[in-house]
Amino acid sequence: MAQDSSIEWTESTWNPVIGCTKVSPGCKNCYAERMANRLAGMAQGSINKGYNPGRTANYLHVINNQGRWNNSVYLDESAVLQPLSWKSPRIVFVNSMSDLFHEDVPLDFIQRVFAAMNQCPQHTFQILTKRPERTAEYAHDLKWTNNIWMGTSIENALVTDRIKELRKVPAAVRFLSVEPLLGPIPRLSLQHIHWVIVGGESGPGSRPMEKQWVTQIRDRCIAQAVPFFFKQWGGVNKKAAGRELDGRTWDEMPEIIRTENPGYVEFA
């Protein structure tokens, strides 16, 4: 089963891979790491009581005894074909608990995940990576149907080179997740980018985000006709902080194309 998601820009999550390695400042307070630690604890508790923990036991493979990522990934073979059983169309965030293009995920596994997405044109799949250089390296070996959106995370001006790598990928929609936004990016390049998500960091130890950083990006999106989605202000209590910007919510998204026959996106 897909898991319903509270993430504002998607509907469900699908995790054929779990576990990760921190690669940049945006990873410091990783929400997936906190969630994985909770799930690993639940699994161990069930085992200690003599119960079958089910698939939560997978998280024991990726969390160390300090409750942090152990820098490995776990490939959940049983999850790869799950989308084929979902009847109603949905927007799916792929690997909310990992990175499909993590260096330890082999190409043949990525290809099988793509094959499942290729066979499900009724669904829209959103893949997000901090490793777009690996995505670009493998792009010619993958089938990019128009229901596959590809994004990269940009937390500050120091990692904007990821956008150059993302542009090499022939996805129907290329998007930026500027979350957590940790500093100003006044000249964020939006050429050949189809969607931008911005959000502040939430949870314990969350780092502050200034309004000007957000409005700089929003105004660039407006000027270049790129859909802009403001996810949250963040903070320890993100519900209290809300997600309004200048008196309104910003929920813009690219057009979702659903068809019975998958269309392939080709390199120019």
Assign a CATH topology to domain 3-17+75-241: pyruvate-formate lyase- activating enzyme (3.80.30)
Using one digit for the tens of pLDDT, what is the confidence trace for 219-233? Answer: 999 999 999 999 999
CA pair distance 231, 218, nearest whole angstrom: 12
**Cβ-based burial of 246 (10 A; exposed 0-12, middle 13-18, buried ≥19):** exposed
CA pair distance 165, 186, nearest whole angstrom: 20
* Element (DSSP H or E) covering residue 213: helix 211-223
User: What pLDDT is recorded for position 1?
Assistant: 46
Q: How big is the chain by its Cα radius of gyration, in Å? A: 18
Q: What is the mean pLDDT of each run of 10 residues along the chain (268 residues)?
A: 82 98 97 97 97 97 98 97 96 98 98 98 97 98 98 98 98 98 96 98 95 98 98 92 96 84 61
pTM, whole model, 2 decimals? Answer: 0.95
Mean pLDDT of all residues belonging to the chain = 95
Q: How many CB atoms lie within 10 A of CB 45?
A: 12
Domain-wise residue ranges, the chain: 3-17+75-241
What letter does residue 255 receive in the DSSP assignment?
Answer: P
3-state secondary structure 203-258: CCCCCCCCHHHHHHHHHHHHHCCCCEEEEECCECCHHHHCCCECCECCECCCCCCC
